[in-house]
């Protein structure tokens, strides 16, 4: 093995060193000796078994060196192929075949059969008569109560305060150790349409329960990457009390529609454009990113935005029918790890 | 419409008031409803066969009407007011030699005799969650609900329940155990009744014995069990809960035989095929799923666009149309024949002591040994 490896270094040298490392190695060798063994080394290379793999080499240094060499060769070949193709394309001119579409995670997503077709009567009826229909028919105005898990600490408290500046007509209340099942009837009697509960673990907000009142549904999210206003770079001045515009991106499936409608119902019907504020819920591979911006039209073509904060990421854990009842409530959707999807390495998105 | 409905082998009732027929052989689903006059108060609560030939489906709506749907013609043929919305949703429908039995959430069980306006009315107690008919003795129905223990009624003698379950003993803190029967099933070829509760217990009662408490109690999971169904093969029961967990429980010791995977939302309706090892489930995740009970694999998954409340299977072969069915039968036969052949070879084999012949026989024996067990396993599976 050692002998073979040696031969390889020599072939390497013959081919002409390219990287610094190889140069260093070559320096110690006699140039004349190299030339004398050239013929032999070619023969040695041919003596490799056809299915020889670098990992079979037992000497670590040698293996590492061989591996580097292999990689280099590969890259070289790839570059050559690329050049060749480019030349061919140029030679063919207009007749060149169309370029292949690159594989991306987004276009590898498997099609979800529940994707909502806007012309579907049945889904339209289902959505038209669901729990949010009173909001979308402009019968109710949103009123939001924000509270936390028991005894919130610094970050969570600030997060709640900043969230309430982003959501109009929202009120932050201290939880006072009350059970949610007792809070909900009180909220309903006082005309709240949403209850948001931020859960905290080790002083970090990590969960959010979004409960639509008076009769559900309830969504439970995991909250991550919370960045408060103070931690934001290049942020604008604090948001005004104007009701923002809402952007909902990529809520395409049936489950996504339910969640999207829920977020939409958090904000008042008519945005006040004078405030120039936008709240964005962007869904990408089941993660929902919340951003809050202020925009300005600099001229006819250019728009400037500045982030106002807070920003956070949500991931849906469960969607439950009815108001919060984790013990006896019926779940419409529960997050379960799909081993099939993990094994098959496919991108399965549900929202 | 008629050809559509004839090909359907699974019927599903949805929360939006649509009756859906699913044809697994054609891989299609149809809506049997006028899309223009949809309303939530027509929500389908229960489905039941109108006659033993399965040419009529009875649809119990939330507004108190029972509609008859002809599977041959593909249209709703009859509609009958069997109560109103104040009595709550229907919890069970049954046909008893021509007369219709309905039961509402408020606990009013009514027997509507055919062509007769007067009805027999029984109050079975408040908060009924389910009413089921004994498939072998059609005049028997069982009811149960929240704080309403399992009761078995003989509709020919409607004054008193023939069996009332007694609550289990107080728990280790000497507190009363709450009652919440969510679904009931009559175990075929025995008097026993199996129930599942909102407190994730599965209980078996035996009305033939003097004991009124359950003879077997088992727990599954930690969420309310919402539906159960008894498969064709005896000794097991399939239960489903609000988190979309389906499990096959053993009726002898109450152990979990296996779980059926793939559900995303709570189970609302569950039914096993009367002869084949198949189970259909539907629920809040808007999918109808058909699992095999043999290897517990997911066979079919159909997206039906609305939340589904109940499912009804026809007793004919579900997923296979006529041609496929015959194909499978042939396969089974072939295997059987082959098996017979190998047996014949074994029988015909002589015990040879000759040295010259030994090698050849050994080879043959080896071959048979390789073939034999595989075949047997297959047959045993079938």
pLDDT digits (tens, 9 = 90+) for A257-274: 999 999 999 999 999 999
- Show residues of chain A in contact with B199, CB under 8 Å: none
Average pLDDT over residues A265-285: 93
Range with the poorest average pLDDT among A47-51, A341-345, B25-29, B367-371 = B367-371
Residue B377 covered by a domain: yes
Residue B343 covered by a domain: yes
Q: What is the DSSP string of A180-222?
A: HHHHHHHHHHTT--EEEEEEEETTEEEEEEEEETTT--EEEEE
The yes-or-no verdict on residue B327 having pLDDT over 60 is: no
pLDDT tens figures, A118-148 = 888 888 888 888 889 999 999 999 999 999 9
Residue B342 covered by a domain: yes
The yes-or-no verdict on residue B378 having pLDDT over 70 is: no
Say how far apart CA A11 and CA A29 lie, in whole Å: 13
Q: Nearest by CB to A114, from B244, B303, B307: name it.
A: B303
The domain that holds A137 is classified in CATH as 3.40.50.10480
Q: What is the ipTM of this complex?
A: 0.78
More confident residue, B198 or A21: B198
Say how far apart CA B376 and CA B382 lie, in whole Å: 10
Is A192 found in the same domain as A127?
yes
The yes-or-no verdict on residue A345 having pLDDT over 70 is: no
Is A264 found in the same domain as A340?
yes
Is A280 found in the same domain as A134?
yes
Domain count, chain B: 1
Average pLDDT over residues B250-266: 91
- Which of A327, A332, A342 should we substitute to test contact with B (largest number of B Cβ atoms within 10 Å)? A332
Please say whether the beta carbons of B248 and B296 come within 8 A. Answer: yes
Sheet holding B128-133, edge to edge: B128-133, B140-145, B148-154, B163-164
Shortest CA distance from A113: residue in chain B: B303
Structure confidence at residue A344 (pLDDT): 66
Please say whether the beta carbons of B21 and B5 come within 8 A. Answer: yes
Say how far apart CA A327 and CA B157 lie, in whole Å: 40
Closest chain A C-alpha to B272 CA, distance in angstroms: 22
Domain count, chain A: 2
A334 touches chain B (CB under 8 A): yes
Say how far apart CA B147 and CA B164 lie, in whole Å: 13
More confident residue, B83 or B182: B182
Contact B16 A114 (CB under 8 A): no
Q: Which pair of tokens denotes residue A86? A: 């480019």
Residue A343 pLDDT class (50, 70, 90 cuts): low
Secondary structure percentages of chain B, helix, strand, coil, to 5? 20, 40, 40
Torsion of CA A233, A238, A242, A246, to 10 degrees: 20
The yes-or-no verdict on residue A252 having pLDDT over 60 is: yes
Structure confidence at residue B328 (pLDDT): 38
pLDDT tens figures, A206-225 = 999 999 988 889 999 999 99
Say how far apart CA B169 and CA A133 lie, in whole Å: 47
Instruction: Give ∠ CA B167-B171-B174 in degrees, rounded to 5.
Output: 105
Structure confidence at residue A15 (pLDDT): 45
Residue A112 covered by a domain: no
Residue B341 covered by a domain: yes
Is A208 found in the same domain as A75?
no
The beta strand positions in A250-301, using DSSP E, are 277-284, 287-297
Pairing of the two strands A170-172 and A144-148: parallel
Residue A45 pLDDT class (50, 70, 90 cuts): low
Torsion of CA A53, A56, A61, A67, to 10 degrees: 10
Residue B375 covered by a domain: yes
Size of the A and B interface in Cβ pairs below 8 Å: 58
pLDDT tens figures, B133-180 = 998 888 899 999 999 999 999 988 888 899 999 999 999 999 999 999
The yes-or-no verdict on residue A11 having pLDDT over 50 is: no
% of chain B surpassing 90 pLDDT: 45
State how far the alpha carbon of A148 is from the alpha carbons of A178, A294, B161, in Å.
Answer: 11, 27, 51
A119 touches chain B (CB under 8 A): no
Q: Which pair of tokens denotes residue B241? A: 């809960």
Say how far apart CA B378 and CA B252 lie, in whole Å: 26
| Residue A47: CB atoms within 10 Å | 9
State how far the alpha carbon of B363 is from the alpha carbons of B33, B352, B358, B360, B369, in Å.
Answer: 66, 13, 9, 5, 10
Helix (H, G, I), strand (E, B) or coil at A123: helix
Shortest CA distance from A327: residue in chain B: B223
Residue B53 covered by a domain: no
Residue A32 covered by a domain: yes
More confident residue, A342 or B126: B126
* Cα B134–chain centre separation: 13
pLDDT tens figures, A165-196 = 999 999 999 999 999 999 999 999 999 999 99
Is A281 found in the same domain as A175?
yes
A270 touches chain B (CB under 8 A): no
Average pLDDT over residues B183-198: 92
* Cα B75–chain centre separation: 25
Residue B331 pLDDT class (50, 70, 90 cuts): very low
Residue A37 pLDDT class (50, 70, 90 cuts): very low
Give residue ranges of B with CB < 8 Å to any A CB. 16, 18, 31, 35, 38-40, 198, 223-224, 226, 242-244, 264-266, 284-286, 303, 305-307
Structure confidence at residue A18 (pLDDT): 44
Q: Which pair of tokens denotes residue A99? A: 């370029």
Structure confidence at residue B350 (pLDDT): 67
Torsion over CA: A199, A204, A206, A211 (sign)? positive
Range with the poorest average pLDDT among A136-140, B32-36, B79-83, B318-322 = B318-322
Widest pairwise Cα distance in chain B: 91
Residue B382 pLDDT class (50, 70, 90 cuts): very low
Q: Nearest by CB to A331, from B16, B242, B286: name it.
A: B242
Residue A4 pLDDT class (50, 70, 90 cuts): very low
Residue A78 pLDDT class (50, 70, 90 cuts): very high
Crossing angle between the packed helical segments A60-92 and A2-15, to the nearest 10 degrees: 40
Provide the 8-state DSSP code for A51.
T
The yes-or-no verdict on residue B35 having pLDDT over 80 is: no
Range with the poorest average pLDDT among A29-43, A293-307, B66-80 = A29-43
Structure confidence at residue A106 (pLDDT): 78
A286 touches chain B (CB under 8 A): no
Please say whether the beta carbons of B50 and B94 come within 8 A. Answer: no
Residue B319 pLDDT class (50, 70, 90 cuts): low
Please say whether the beta carbons of B272 and B265 come within 8 A. Answer: no
Residue A351 covered by a domain: no
Residue B358 covered by a domain: yes
Q: Nearest by CB to B265, from A113, A122, A334: name it.
A: A334
Residue A105 covered by a domain: no
Q: Which pair of tokens denotes residue A61? A: 């240094």
pLDDT tens figures, B223-239 = 999 999 999 888 999 99
Structure confidence at residue B215 (pLDDT): 94
The range of the structural domain enclosing residue B350 comes to 333-381
% of chain B surpassing 70 pLDDT: 83
Looking at every residue in chain B, the average pLDDT score rounds to 83
Average pLDDT over residues A291-312: 92
Say how far apart CA A287 and CA A224 lie, in whole Å: 10
Say how far apart CA B109 and CA B106 lie, in whole Å: 9
Is A143 found in the same domain as A292?
yes
The range of the structural domain enclosing residue A271 comes to 121-344
Shortest CA distance from B197: residue in chain A: A328
Torsion over CA: B221, B223, B224, B227 (sign)? negative
More confident residue, B219 or B328: B219
Structure confidence at residue B26 (pLDDT): 82
Is A126 found in the same domain as A74?
no
Structure confidence at residue A97 (pLDDT): 80
Instruction: Give ∠ CA A93-A97-A99 in degrees, rounded to 5.
Output: 105
Helix (H, G, I), strand (E, B) or coil at B253: coil
Q: Nearest by CB to B244, from A113, A125, A334: name it.
A: A334
The yes-or-no verdict on residue A9 having pLDDT over 60 is: no
Residue B76 covered by a domain: no
Say how far apart CA B299 and CA B281 lie, in whole Å: 12
């Amino acid at each position: 093995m050692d002998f073979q490896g040696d031969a390889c270094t020599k072939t390497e040298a013959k081919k002409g060193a390219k990287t610094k490392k190889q140069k260093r190695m070559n320096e110690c060798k006699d140039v004349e000796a190299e030339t004398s063994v050239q013929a032999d080394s070619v023969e040695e290379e041919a003596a490799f078994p056809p299915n020889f793999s670098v990992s079979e080499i037992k000497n670590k240094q040698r293996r590492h060196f061989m591996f580097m060499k292999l990689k280099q060769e590969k890259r070289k070949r790839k570059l050559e192929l690329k050049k060749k193709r480019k030349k061919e394309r140029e030679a063919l001119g207009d007749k060149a075949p169309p370029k292949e579409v690159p594989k991306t995670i987004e276009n590898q997503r498997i099609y979800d059969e529940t994707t909502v077709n806007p012309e579907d009567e049945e889904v339209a009826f289902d959505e038209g008569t669901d729990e949010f229909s009173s909001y979308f028919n402009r019968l109710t105005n949103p009123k939001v109560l924000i509270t936390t898990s028991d005894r919130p600490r610094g970050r969570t408290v600030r997060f709640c305060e900043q969230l309430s500046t982003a959501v109009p007509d929202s009120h932050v209340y201290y939880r006072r150790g009350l059970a949610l099942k007792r809070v909900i009837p009180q909220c309903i009697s006082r005309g709240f349409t949403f209850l948001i509960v931020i859960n905290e673990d080790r002083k970090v907000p990590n969960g959010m329960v979004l409960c639509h009142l008076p009769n559900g549904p309830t969504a439970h999210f995991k909250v991550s990457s919370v960045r408060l206003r103070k931690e934001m770079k290049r942020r604008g001045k604090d948001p005004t009390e104007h009701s923002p515009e809402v952007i909902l991106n990529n809520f395409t499936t049936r489950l996504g529609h339910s969640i999207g409608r829920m977020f939409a119902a958090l904000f008042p019907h008519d945005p006040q454009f004078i405030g120039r504020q936008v709240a964005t819920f962007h869904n990408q591979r089941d993660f929902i990113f919340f951003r809050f911006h202020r925009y300005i039209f600099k001229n006819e073509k250019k728009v400037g935005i500045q982030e106002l904060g807070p920003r956070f990421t949500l991931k849906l854990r469960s969607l439950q029918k009815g108001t919060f009842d984790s013990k006896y409530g019926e779940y419409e959707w529960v997050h379960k790890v799909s081993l099939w999807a993990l094994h098959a390495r496919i991108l399965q998105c549900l929202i | 419409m008629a050809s559509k409905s004839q090909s359907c082998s699974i019927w599903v009732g949805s929360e939006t008031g649509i009756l859906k027929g699913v044809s697994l052989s054609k891989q299609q689903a149809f809506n049997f409803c006028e899309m223009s006059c949809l309303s939530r108060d027509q929500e389908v609560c229960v489905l039941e066969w109108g006659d033993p030939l399965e040419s009529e489906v009875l649809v119990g709506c939330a507004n108190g009407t029972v509609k008859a749907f002809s599977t041959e013609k593909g249209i709703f043929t009859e509609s009958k007011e069997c109560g109103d919305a104040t009595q709550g949703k229907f919890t069970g429908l049954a046909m008893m030699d021509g007369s219709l039995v309905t039961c509402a959430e408020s606990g009013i069980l009514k027997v509507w005799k055919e062509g007769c306006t007067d009805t027999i009315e029984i109050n079975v107690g408040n908060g009924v969650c389910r009413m089921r008919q004994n498939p072998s003795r059609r005049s028997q129905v069982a009811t149960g609900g929240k704080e309403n223990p399992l009761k078995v009624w003989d509709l020919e003698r409607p004054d008193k329940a023939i069996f009332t379950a007694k609550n289990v003993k107080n728990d280790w803190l000497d507190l009363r155990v709450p009652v919440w029967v969510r679904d009931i099933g009559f175990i075929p070829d025995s008097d026993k009744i199996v129930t599942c509760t909102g407190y994730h217990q599965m209980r078996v009662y035996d009305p033939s014995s003097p004991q009124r408490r359950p003879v077997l109690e088992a727990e599954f999971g930690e969420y309310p069990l919402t539906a159960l169904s008894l498969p064709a093969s005896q000794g097991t029961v399939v239960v489903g809960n609000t988190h979309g967990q389906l499990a096959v429980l053993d009726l002898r010791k109450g152990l979990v035989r296996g779980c059926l995977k793939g559900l995303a939302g709570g189970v609302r309706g569950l039914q096993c095929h009367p002869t084949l090892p198949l189970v259909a489930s539907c629920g809040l995740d808007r999918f109808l799923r058909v699992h095999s009970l043999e290897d517990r694999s997911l066979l079919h998954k159909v997206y039906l666009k609305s939340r589904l409340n109940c499912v009804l299977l026809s007793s004919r072969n579900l997923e296979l149309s006529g041609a496929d069915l015959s194909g499978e039968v042939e396969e089974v036969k072939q295997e059987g024949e082959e098996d017979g052949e190998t047996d014949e070879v074994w029988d015909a084999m002589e015990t040879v002591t000759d040295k010259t012949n030994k090698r050849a026989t050994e080879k043959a024996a080896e071959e048979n040994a390789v073939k034999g067990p595989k075949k047997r396993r297959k047959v045993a599976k079938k």
